[in-house]
A and B are shown apart, each in its own frame.
Chain A
Amino acid sequence: MEGDIAQLGQFIGAGLAAIGSGAAAIGVGHVAGNFLAGALRNPSAAAGQTATLFIGIAFAEALGIFSFLVALLLMFAV
């Protein structure tokens, strides 16, 4: 057992920040699942909404990427 308490906090913080990636996965799955549920009910309207689908996925995913970035910053930049 060696190393300082700051490094311990860094690693724990990076691990906690990685939870955000899982949360973003839930968000992306929610967007895609709801799109599919709606698309199967009205397939003729689905083709026009794929752009909205990707925008929704992008917004949900961006926040997960932010948490990934926080983890990276804690590991390599702090």
Chain B
Amino acid sequence: MADEAHSGGGLEFHPMDQFIVKPLFGEIGDPVHMYTITNVTLWLALAVLATIGLLVLTTSKRAVVPSRGQSVAELAYGFVYKMVEDVTGKDGIKYFPYIMTLFIFILCANFLGLIPMAFTTTSHIAVTAVMGFGVFFAVTILGFVKNGVSFLSLFWVSSAPLALRPILALIELISYFVRPVSHSIRLAGNMMAGHAVLKVFAGFAQVTGGMALIIVPVSILGVVAVYALEVLVSFIQAYVFTILTCVYLKDALHPHH
């Protein structure tokens, strides 16, 4: 079906082509083709290296007067620390390293994806679902370990009238299990949608014909505007992913309504 959509459009390239996972080396049919790393692997590795570079290399000197890199790392540290403290409370601080790692990794992956010709790893549900379900399982197991069976009181809304509670319990249960899905699809969907819009505008920028003199400058301005929006969205989605992780963590630590 994708091939039909390819030939149907008037654009030179398809806006969704940028999300195709390709092996880096070898041609189709080569034996090496199946075993070589893909562009997803490459850009995920670069995101990990960027995380290490930002947090480990810049702060290793522990200068009293911080360098530029150390300032950025300290700023990010303080930002996430305050977020964890505000949302989950004092006893959530113990899980701060996990949340900090998630935030910086997603931020680096999002921003690396904004480099022209780069591959946006977080636009794939396969990548974000690992993080989303990781949070889901971690939080659920943590809730049972910390609270035992009374963790289930998360679903039993004791402030509601008794007759309504079974219905509310069902709704709460469904919403609990939808959490990892929406958690991961939100990030992937936002990144994918934004980058697809960028490529749609870029496709309009190469039209020819009578209207080209008007369409081309407008669509190039559109690319610039959407790119600026994407820089903002990259940060906000990393922030939203982390703050929702904090909210889920708070539910696990304090399940009582």
Q: Which residues of A contact B (CB under 8 A)?
A: 7, 10, 51, 54-55, 57-58, 61-62, 65-66, 68-69, 72, 75-78
Contacts and interface: CB of A to CB of B under 8 A. Distances in A.
Contacts, number: 46
Given A51-B87, A78-B1, A62 B243 contact: no
Q: Chain B interface mostly helix, strand, loop or mixed?
A: helix
Interface in B52-101: 83, 86-87
Given A51-B87, A66-B182, A68-B189, 13 more contacts: A51-B243, A54-B236, A55-B247, A58-B240, A58-B244, A62-B185, A62-B189, A65-B186, A65-B190, A69-B185, A75-B1, A76-B2, A77-B1
B86 A51 contact: yes
Contact of A76 (B5, B185, B247): B5
Nearest to B246: A51
Nearest to B87: A51
A69 to B, nearest CB: 6
Contact of A68 (B5, B193, B247): B193
21 contacts: A10-B1, A54-B236, A54-B239, A54-B240, A54-B243, A55-B243, A55-B244, A55-B247, A57-B240, A58-B240, A58-B243, A58-B244, A62-B186, A62-B189, A66-B185, A68-B189, A68-B193, A76-B1, A76-B2, A76-B5, A77-B1
B127 interface: no
